[in-house]
Structure 1
């Protein structure tokens, strides 16, 4: 808020962001892989949906060990996706439709094929310490032993021995993704330079990947907590992270009118304020993971014990804490899914009997809580999780590595023992190709798709959804319009009602003398709303996912996954 109590208007607070995973969005040349020209072909579709910003997952030149998050050249485009000219044409087309572009900034690590790493492993002058190199020990058989017990998010050790340099290098992700050493000022200069280079090309900001891992503690001590990967409590949010981020902000982001949203797991609401705004490290918002962890084991996402169960009161408590305790000058990024998460209607809704109703309820929630909503491709048509019958059906190295670790540790005998678990958590669910029509390969490609399509595409696809006025797609479009029209849904204060209710999630948004009430029956059973839910009588139903929503909520019965937005 401003000093006079009025909202601090910012374009990125009022925007709706749509995330594109380029490999799976739209293929223009029939090679089975989505590309930049394919995205350009669909800009009109994005404009019709009403989104304001596109977040583009990495399209930089990459060996593709982790689907583009292993970058070989930050200033070049992956040939599979096209050329720099194709990227420039996409940017121009987006801007012509008043849609801004966020690029993905991946600077915790590079590819091991990046020039910096190749020069570092050869100990070339000036590059020796661009990465974390350490001597290890040897075991009783004389074999090298890693420098500490840290584990990789992709499974196994976070260390790999390099025969050329005769030392171990650190990689918190795949062994082809060595971690940059941010203690080295030359590394920080390089990062600032590439950020400036992209900003000068006219982009509108960055989603910043895995940035809470850039500062490692002195001595790289062993991890002790019973969490996976081992050591995460040590290498997350390290001692100099605020210095590094503030320096990057002062040198780059502060000089442009851009959006920065940082991916930061293990971040609590109490920590978040130190990263956000001018009084913090300059970031505009962060992706926290507390609500993403509501249904997983405390030991980590890929622990097959204690997964899949979650309660609405616990979810409400997490979301409300972030709505009310973040501070007036900080801002939320709201999301339920992305390229690293299962499909939201399969995880938080009902992807069978009430797929349409629950997909609309989830959309209602995203568009009416405080913060900038992020919609992942396919959510707007209610795409669902797939069924990966065999290990060979999976592409994601994180999921595959976790399975291999569990089998090696004796916690499972085969993939079949883990199949139900994998089909709940796998990142590949979000990466199956976009379902454009009921034509061959869902209209995604004329070739062989790089990842198998979900078999339900003849029923769930964009073409069918756009032709149906009552579809999930048209409901998203109307909700986005509502958020654009109603300032209270952007800047209004949030107040939770019925915190302990097992089925109902109800809250108000209030700005000056205007109040909106949102009532969500987040369950597959009908439920009666308390007669005294609110004192004021609604004057209008602004949006609802059933045709005949109750004109007043109090004392009424709400049907399975019914969602209604009222003006009071």
Structure 2
């Protein structure tokens, strides 16, 4: 086993010495020569630092009335599922009133629940029932744009008083032939121009997404007050925090005569990736607005002593997203989402270390493997690797977020153009929709092998069920006599309550093209986590022999190894997509260096 630690430099060339990451919420000191990260002080952890977050996409979680669409009462009926699974906080995607052109991300009233999901009374009951079970709840909030059906937009079109400048309006520009065109070349995330003409107002309006999702103008102080008042409305209902949607697009450059430069990407000129979005994404004006929202949330915490959480969605490198920490919020870390089709062990470990090494002093890391905007984990990296990615997510230092169904290994559905409903997919057209559609990752939750996978009693569902729903479901996986993805996830979630995984150290062990392994060391217990992300069966630990360890979690299908078994590392052979979590003998002290 000593060779395991002495050979780190050979197995992972990035490290110039054995890497030690001590993971407590603390001010951190770094030695760049040895990549040694140690805490200077300790502090108590808040609930969101120790929690596992679970994203619920409400249309797809549980339907209580048979209309084929999930709803709030459906979620309430399954709240004990979260307790059993071992997650701690529910993040609910939007249930606000909406025409549902983008399925809730086009809000027509920030202070009401859409009837398709229920009522405000249902929402209040949901919060109360969640808190009764000792769980937390954060609400998705979409501050950057509203639906074209929103009263604010209708009144802005009419230049009605304070609403006149709630949105970004432009006269456009006149060509030499007298034709009026948009003021610049800015593109929508969903494709095509980000400017649309309004006949009544005789101006163009800006929309970073769909033409029916109109961007708000945060240079207007009245608008700023309206949004902060909306936060207060839901805080009064008892939410424990918010997830801020599409923060990168909150502001755009005030000078709308500026064209964005070409990106050089080989894509059609109408696609978002055609331009380098230096004027419409991650603008510095966004941070003061975020600070004002954090102040609203903090005011409630000061009143009742309860910690609230503000987490921000933005797809950005560490140097950009770390600015979010500066205002007291937390940026989602999506580095593990986009790593190509077959990331190696070194690729994956490098992404983990990017988060740790670039983390500002005193801040807390987080990891996300999927969400409603991405193809499912099984599609991006292969179904056989879902289990090891879940091991990774739940045993790293930092707050993990799971997308519904990933604990089951749910697949991305194969949805035809004719059945596509996602506006981003529809906007790409029948030839390219599969590159952009988000429908495949939004299919109904698979509760059982009964009618409609136990999701609904209706004859139709808003999206078709994903393939293999009859075997990849809660009931089947929970009742199986064999290890299953669901059972493994539940084991890991409960194991994560152990101090070693909450505040223990993180030490890299063997890292190769196939293997990612590390130690999590607490005050009383130490665990060795080993995962094969490669394409080959490995026995890379064959030379390390003892000491004997106890197997506490294994992936399904791992032969010759059982939970509770005493194991020497030279007996361990892992096929692609297999992994183990081992409890090391207490008297073993690794030799480092």
Measured against aligned partners, the alpha-carbon deviations of 1:64-91 in whole angstroms (never above 9, x if no partner) come to 1111000000110001111111111111
CA distance in 2, matches of 1:468, 1:556: 25
Equivalent residues of 1:468, 1:474 under 8 A apart: no
Q: Which one of 209, 224, 228 corresponds to residue 192 of structure 1?
A: 228
Q: Which residue of 1 aligns with 2:496?
A: 483
Matched residue SS, 1:381: coil
Q: Which residue of 2 aligns with 1:370?
A: 397
Q: Which one of 516, 525, 537 corresponds to residue 526 of structure 1?
A: 537
CA distance in 2, matches of 1:522, 1:316: 11
CA distance in 2, matches of 1:288, 1:144: 42
Q: Which residue of 2 aligns with 1:544?
A: 554
1:140 CA displacement: 6.0
* 1:46-445 matched pairs, under 5 angstroms: 46-139=82-175, 142-220=178-256, 221-226=258-263, 228-229=272-273, 230-256=275-301, 257-265=307-315, 267-276=316-325, 280-283=326-329, 285-295=330-340, 308=341, 310-349=343-382, 351=383, 354=384, 358-388=385-415, 390-401=416-427, 403-404=428-429, 415=431, 418=432, 422=435, 426-445=437-456
1:310 CA displacement: 4.1
1:325 CA displacement: 2.3
Matched residue SS, 2:161: coil
CA distance in 1, matches of 2:321, 2:522: 24
1:124 CA displacement: 0.8
CA RMSD of aligned residues (A): 2.3
Q: Which one of 471, 475, 492 corresponds to residue 459 of structure 1?
A: 471
Matched residue SS, 1:164: coil
Q: Which residue of 2 aligns with 1:299?
A: none
Q: Which residue of 1 aligns with 2:30?
A: none
CA distance in 1, matches of 2:279, 2:505: 36
**Gaps in structure 1 of 5+ consecutive residues:** 296-307, 405-413
CA distance in 2, matches of 1:114, 1:324: 44
1:369 CA displacement: 1.0
1:232/1:492 CA distance change after superposition, 3 Å: farther
**Gaps in structure 2 of 5+ consecutive residues:** 1-24, 28-39, 266-271, 302-306, 585-593
CA distance in 1, matches of 2:573, 2:473: 32
Equivalent residues of 1:20, 1:57 under 8 A apart: yes
Q: Which residue of 1 aligns with 2:9?
A: none
1:144/1:313 CA distance change after superposition, 3 Å: farther
Equivalent residues of 1:436, 1:444 under 8 A apart: yes
1:510 CA displacement: 3.7
1:134/1:552 CA distance change after superposition, 3 Å: farther
Measured against aligned partners, the alpha-carbon deviations of 1:450-501 in whole angstroms (never above 9, x if no partner) come to 11112321222211112114221111111111001x12212234343445x2
Larger radius of gyration: 2
Matched residue SS, 1:161: strand
1:138/1:261 CA distance change after superposition, 3 Å: same
The two structures have a TM-score, normalised by structure 1, of 0.87
Measured against aligned partners, the alpha-carbon deviations of 1:308-359 in whole angstroms (never above 9, x if no partner) come to 454443332122110232134212232111111111123223x2xx4xxx33
Q: Which residue of 1 aligns with 2:34?
A: none
- Higher-RCO chain (CA-CA 8 Å, sequence separation at least 6): 2
Matched residue SS, 1:127: helix
